[in-house]
Structure 1
Amino acid sequence: MAQWSPFPHAGDYRWNAASVTQQWSRLHSGDAEPCPPDAAVLQAWALFHNGEFEQAAAAGLSAGGAGITAANKATAIYANYLEPKEKTRLDLFLQVAERAAAQAAQEPENANAWYWHAYALGRYSQGISVAKALAQGLGLGDKIRNALEKTMALSPRHADARIALGTFHAEVIDKVGALIGGMTYGAKKELGLQLFQEALRIHPGSAIGMIEYANALVMLEGDAKMQEATQLYEKAAACEPLDAREHLDVEMARIELQEG
């Protein structure tokens, strides 16, 4: 497979296993992943936080066990933000979805196995268009919603699962309308917005939470919420990133404001 595109700010972050362990709760405020005792898994996470996504994925797969989660996150974040080819992006999301499904089958209590399965399927469905995914009857909607609800049941402080599920509700309603969205896919506007609010209570500094909440407000409420959405983008753009993934989120908010 072709080499992955590098993180454009290589060298800006210098995490190692010791510093990652020390700052674990802050680095993982969004995904609530337990800090691993295995040195090889910690090294995979250090590579991830530095933006060395390809090396992080390889190290996580090599470590096995909890390293699979590091590999899945590294692959999914890379695909979402940095992979330029659409077909490769979709292939990477499917890889993560399949790997996470196998992990969830082996470890049904592993919240992030369910989360990365849902995240990858969600990004895949966005890539082929949410409407197309729903229309094709692929069962993606049910799989995504069920996996995210399972994540939250297993990990009640999983902010990222709330962000993803809030996005799911908003996108389904945006594409098929509130009536069909509610009857067919269980999508509800109020619940979607509530999930974002809960996520930002758990992880107030989540730039991606602010960005996705802003997007959902515009999808669900239109121009009436444009000012509030812009304020959320401004707040996200002003965040101080702690690692490579947060850097990509903050950069996305800044680009959106410039283009808006």
Structure 2
Amino acid sequence: MHLNLSFDLSAAVRRVRRPASVADASAIGAKVWKSFPYGNRLYRYDGAALQANWARLHRGDREPFPSATRIERLVRHNPALAEHVRDPARTAACLEQAWRAYHAGDFAEAVHFAQDAGVAGTMVAVRAAAVYAAHVEDQDDRRLKILREATEAAEELVQVAPVWANAWYAFGLAVGRYSQNLSVMKALTLGFGGKVRDSFLRALALEPDHADAHLALGVYHAEVVDKVGSVVGALSHHARRDAVEHHFELARRLTPDSPIVLAEYAKARMLAFGAAQFGRAYGLFQEAAACRPVDALERLDVELAKRELI
């Protein structure tokens, strides 16, 4: 099944007086996004099942379930959001649908529902875009465009909601994925590395047990060390080999048996420490491949790990 998608997230953020609807989202620059490659019914959390499984699904990012009370609290902590959230209950309902689609692997649909939530939905939309671009989209130009627009939207979001750990995490994730597709060296030259690192540090300052931010920082340190070496990495980009282990071990403690953490840790060890770590990396891929995924993203990482073992 192919979905037409407008992914003009920056425009969605700017349309703050009137939240974007699904029809609006489909009308501008429609794109065809590919379907989740492992079926569309495996990871559906319909009805009350989403809230019942929320703690497990969100142990990595610590995002609360999207209730009206949660939205009201988010607005209190981020007063600039107030003019963009007219109906907390409706916003929460749209976000619940967006997360349900995200976990099922319906990434285009997740963006639609998230845009329908207005500015408060930008975080979910950016997350869906980043996962889709990294794992599913096979056209380089489309991938880069999606990630560029996601980065722009997330940067606008953190200006409106600076006291939201997952807004900063989404920004760092989008910039990081965009940087990977530009090449890490070009991204460092453009100063994106600092934005990636600082975004995840901001997320951790607001939520110290944010395992996904620890994972992402581990990836950042590994990629910089791989590209510029340990000396230049430390002096110019605050990237160190020992930080790779530090952040990934924290992520493992916070999210035991996470295929995402295990697969990313395996790749990061190879980048930061070289071929000498092949045995350790192989073992981590084996652990990841043996995990039982609970949503689409975990399934994508389990399949990635299996491919590495062939």
1:182 aligns with 2:234: yes
Pairing partner for 2:64 from 1, 26, 34 = 34
Partner residue in 2 for 1:241: 293
Partner residue in 1 for 2:179: 125
**C-alpha offsets along residues 74-129 of structure 1, whole Å, 9 cap, x if unaligned?**
11111111111111111111111111111111111111111111111111111111
Partner residue in 1 for 2:160: 106
**C-alpha offsets along residues 214-248 of structure 1, whole Å, 9 cap, x if unaligned?**
11211222232211110100000011011111111
Supply the AA of the counterpart residue of 1:222. Answer: G
8 Å contact from structure 2 (residues 166, 203) kept in 1:
yes
Q: Distance in 1 between matches of 2:247 and 2:44?
A: 33
Where do 1:1-260 residues align within 5 Å?
1-8=30-37, 9-37=39-67, 38-134=92-188, 137-258=189-310
Query: 1:67 Cα shift?
Result: 2.4
Give percent identity, aligned residues only. Answer: 42
Q: Gaps spanning 5+ residues in structure 2: where?
A: 1-29, 68-91
TM-score for the superposition, normalised by structure 2: 0.80
Compare 219-228 and 180-189 and name the one that shifted more.
219-228
8 Å contact from structure 1 (residues 79, 92) kept in 2:
yes
Q: Gaps spanning 5+ residues in structure 1: where?
A: none
Q: How many residues align?
A: 256
Q: Distance in 2 between matches of 1:157 and 1:169?
A: 19
Q: Secondary structure of 2:45's partner?
A: coil
8 Å contact from structure 1 (residues 211, 232) kept in 2:
yes
**Residues 17 and 43 of structure 1: CA distance in aligned 2, closer, same or farther (over 3 Å):** farther
Q: Secondary structure of 1:2's partner?
A: strand
Q: Secondary structure of 2:138's partner?
A: coil
Supply the AA of the counterpart residue of 1:224. Answer: A
8 Å contact from structure 1 (residues 170, 219) kept in 2:
yes
C-alpha root-mean-square deviation of aligned residues, in Å?
Answer: 1.2
Query: 1:65 Cα shift?
Result: 4.6
Decide which structure has the larger Cα Rg and report it: 2
8 Å contact from structure 1 (residues 115, 148) kept in 2:
yes
Query: 1:180 Cα shift?
Result: 0.7
Q: Distance in 2 between matches of 1:140 and 1:192?
A: 19
Query: 1:56 Cα shift?
Result: 0.8
8 Å contact from structure 1 (residues 17, 43) kept in 2:
no
Q: Distance in 2 between matches of 1:237 and 1:172?
A: 26
8 Å contact from structure 2 (residues 147, 178) kept in 1:
yes
List 4+ stretches of structure 1 deviating above 4 A.
none
Supply the AA of the counterpart residue of 1:220. Answer: A
**C-alpha offsets along residues 112-166 of structure 1, whole Å, 9 cap, x if unaligned?**
11111111111111111101222xx311011111111001111111111111111
8 Å contact from structure 1 (residues 36, 66) kept in 2:
no
TM-score for the superposition, normalised by structure 1: 0.95
Supply the AA of the counterpart residue of 1:2. Answer: K
Query: 1:249 Cα shift?
Result: 1.0
Query: 1:17 Cα shift?
Result: 4.3
Compare 99-108 and 232-241 and name the one that shifted more.
99-108
**C-alpha offsets along residues 155-187 of structure 1, whole Å, 9 cap, x if unaligned?**
111111111111111110110011111100010
